[in-house]
Amino acid sequence: MSYPPIRLGLVGLGKIACDQHLPAIAGNSRFDLVAVADPVHRLDGVRGYAGLAEMLAGEAGKLDAVALCTPPAVRVPLARAAIAAGLDVLLEKPPAAAPTQAQALEQLATRAGVTLYAAWHSRESEVVEAARAWLATRSISAVHITWREDVRKWHPGQDWLLSKGGFGVFDPAINAFSILTEILPSGICVEGARMDVPANRGAPTDAQVDMRCSTGAPIIADLSILQPGHQQWDIVVNTPDGELVLRDGGHRLEIDGTLRQESANDEYARIYRRFADLITRRESDADARPLSLVADALLLGTVTTGPDFEF
């Protein structure tokens, strides 16, 4: 069955939008990118606006959906405005700065009859699906997450990430939490955290988070955005039937040291296929569980002040 194109507006033209969203949109025939809103950047061949309000005014009646790729601290009022305009909304991760904000947006979208999609790109992997299937009928003994990367490489000059409300180390680590909440067959709760915050910043650069499955198994997350050299994004799950390891951010699956499956980095292509499917079915997907784990870690954690950090 053929469908009319989904006329899309992209809000925020930063690194993630340019590296991931634009290629995924261009590769999906369901979407027609008609406008971009960004206070600084423009995209050749696409109408540009300084912000969402200007886009909504200039494209009245010409948009069906928007993808919000702004920092989370400013995303909620933009989502509200788009929902009020009757548009379907894709939210980059995390969907909001706090779980209650995400829940309120979901309720607002339901009342308005529009699709709201909180996209967790690290879940969008066949390898993650395979891990979830393998763990579905197994008990969990312990989980260890190592999520260590270099913020200067992946977020160069992006001061917002280390400001209050910018999440700091939890901005990349929430990807691990999104995988964790997808693959484990039981619930998860945070028990405590230890965080290092630079004296001149408002968010942590390093953290250890202690969690537990609802069945009692311990979960430890070792997190950093000050990792030089080798970058590591691994989740190790121990079970009585063997050890499952997800490496490379969820793109490589090993069982007891044997490679079982690898996947290409097509996460954002899958996100836009999912978004189009949700729009067609007039459904929403606004899971906020990964965000809740971050919020609990920040609430329950203790903070050590460290030396100043500069990009």
Residues labelled catalytic: 93
CB contact at 8 A, 124 and 101: no
Dist CA 150 CA 230 (whole Å): 9
Q: Which residues contact 108 (CB under 8 A, 6 or more apart)?
A: 80, 83
Other Cβ atoms less than 10 A from the Cβ of 301: the count is 17
| CA distances from residue 178 to 53, 127, 226, 291 in whole angstroms, order as listed | 31, 14, 21, 8
**SS3 assignment for 69-102:** CCCHHHHHHHHHHHHHCCCEEEECCCCCCCHHHH
Dist CA 117 CA 222 (whole Å): 29
Q: List the structure tokens of 64.
A: 């069906």
